[in-house]
Structure 1
């Protein structure tokens, strides 16, 4: 028994060590190599020119065309690093790379701190092995930390050296009266920051004003304005007081700023616009302004801002599998998830491979079929006629599909040709039924009795005749599906009194209350009639009840992660190791 306990202890130690080791294993991704990259760098849609002069504020548009060899296998998690010359810095951001059909191929990310951009792939190119291509577009600017203004820079682009100058922007031209420029926002590529510098050389300008009309494709952001006076503009701008907010007049997409008399000071204005339409000039948006002073227009100019947008597309033409699809449409009705059934039928082997149902959008998706040999394969996509009530099925419930598999350099390529030229669409229709409604009317009439009393008194002949006629009530109830109508007619009593006295006059008094009729659909109406009045009161009560809506929310569970599994596996290993040591020491002490 002691030997068994000892063996169990040793076994626990071994298993514990193995589990602890396995819990620390990780899957390492690879850097894709062998890719061919062609880079174009432009400003305002014009490629950088040898001998060109550019500002530290300039925003360059970068486009990189990437081709990856067919022999290079790409798995999910693999990365590709793209770079620019060290004198440039890539704008920070992360964006998706998509294929023409909208499938995501991977993501591209830049920190903004260096000249590299990292592409991380998913499994798209695992199945799209041939003709793997990408075009990636993003923005960049000068490395202002390491390259000062006035520096001559040699840029190596595609193996070609382009010499440019990073010009000095700290010096203000002596003849400058007003200038304006725009810079794309670093945090939001759809926002342009505009700057207007007025009278930086501190000339005398009376009644100075600037007017601006933001063009189509941009909208003015009215809360973005900051305007201040300054007596120094270089190397830094000092603040000589903010303009009164009333000096800024905004009218829709235009504005006017009144500076007043500028004798020993200038002004500095900042504001923003938002891009709402694709620029008509690639890589550039525009804005015009007019500056007036001393009773005349001093300068009218159109300025631009260089813009770049992060986007990318990819292409991988061939794969060794087919994912059959179909579409369901329902006329005169609303599709629901799982409403209709469809089969994928293998004609060559005479069997149903799979049965699927449509989703709420009408999409039908069958599982992927992967091919490992060349040949021609025949299938049918068939809708199952389950004889659902009030449904008229498509006249053609069977559609043919032919798959051809060829070999390209050891890679199997599958192509599907649908009978209709594209994935089949099955059209069903909800049949409208006619319902006949029968109306039944019931009439009830009630009539009360009449009482007559005659009293005669001798000595003075008095004849009193009293006639009382009880109210005649007629109730007509009509029931008509689905509308209920009730008509009630009430006629008050008529009382006639004749008093006769010898030698005196005769007075006859008659009072008759009005007849009131009320008709209301799905409404109860009551109208009492008081014989002493000529106008009856009406009380109407309407009770409407609407059913409450019931909503069911299904919460999705969080996915299990490898880190969680590794943690439990490690703990299990530690427990088993401890158990083994305990059994081993127990055996040794015995």
Structure 2
């Protein structure tokens, strides 16, 4: 059992490992597929001749330029990688596969077009240009000829071209297909390779009329933007049918071929039959030219020289486009002074809330500029305030459209404010003092606030002060204290506004003023004093029959004045009283 159990565990672990590996290999990331807009951006189509003139009547061998105009509605949210796809009518033939960039007038790539000659399928893949521009309009051109497998000539055909609302038809008159003239002695034609636009094929039909040409010499002059592929030269004697089909016979030896300064020559000797010469050239411009040319010449004894300049059928294609963008310039200012502020940072958000750019900073002049904005409504949201200023995340909204594509906006900031706390103290005891009143002034002495009074804790506080220098000036002292109008100067420093600035103001108690002494005013008598009587010598006193009662030692009996008595208010009265008392005591002792 243990062995079986271990075996099953091993198998289970192996299967689990395999599942993990497989899930890892086949794990995919979901990617939004590109959108094909078909022909819905195609506005108009017409056929142009080689001079760019619109035509509906062409010769059987003529080339035609299929000319489209197209535009992308601003309401359509086209992304990079999205495509425009359509097919040209089957009655038209392309000389070769095509690939070219569609650019604006600044050389920016709007999209890349490819055309398949075998199917006439056109695909334009858009770049991110379409995400950054509005009002995008363009043109597309494709050089074609009649598809000779379908068109026989001398007929009217209807070409159905795809457009934004379906298709549109163009009736075209096709000329007659020509046969080879019986007296023809020299004819040449060429075409672009269907798979390689840089490779050009050339064919020369010599002496179709089969006239006698002694010492016949054929020369070929290679045209501009080409190089001869000498080893590709081939020549055969043979016969042509009435419709130009060649049946090859005896080959002409390559020893008869020789290079010249501008092409090559073939020595044909005495020529009495027809010959076909073929060769290729390579375009030095990568096949970007619409047409390439060569010149053929046939000479002989007693033969009028024939010369023909031949162009390849127009091939290739091209296109251009242009779009409109807008811009915004934001100026950052101080809310009060309107001075411009550097160092503020913003993010740019579109109408869908997508962040397009971040960390966009105002420069030394307090400005930031953003270009290449397609039509939309945007917001600039501040993410970092200038040093010393409050962050304000209120969005600055603006809209760019066909009527407003150069926007200027302003964003103001207020300085970070600080606060100050003044404590009123007794100069000696340091006890806090309530009821002191101050006014707040700037450093020039301009009054900013008045009636600022210390509370029961001896404190007054002022907030929302922008950085700068200020002063408190006392306008009323606490009760019992002397006023001190010496300014209390303090500074709110930018970047240091988290904590209040603390200052103190001390007061000295008032010095009490002693009262001025007022001398007492004596009461004036209401009755004038009587004149003093003449003293009478007293008779000798007779002893009293009653025994005198002794007084307690150290006591004196004094009659207190009653209401109406005249008080003794001066020294003379006191002296008289004393003398009288002494006399009485002396008489009693005798």
What's the TM-score once normalised by structure 1's chain length? 0.48
**Greater Rg, structure 1 or structure 2?**
2
What's the TM-score once normalised by structure 2's chain length? 0.48
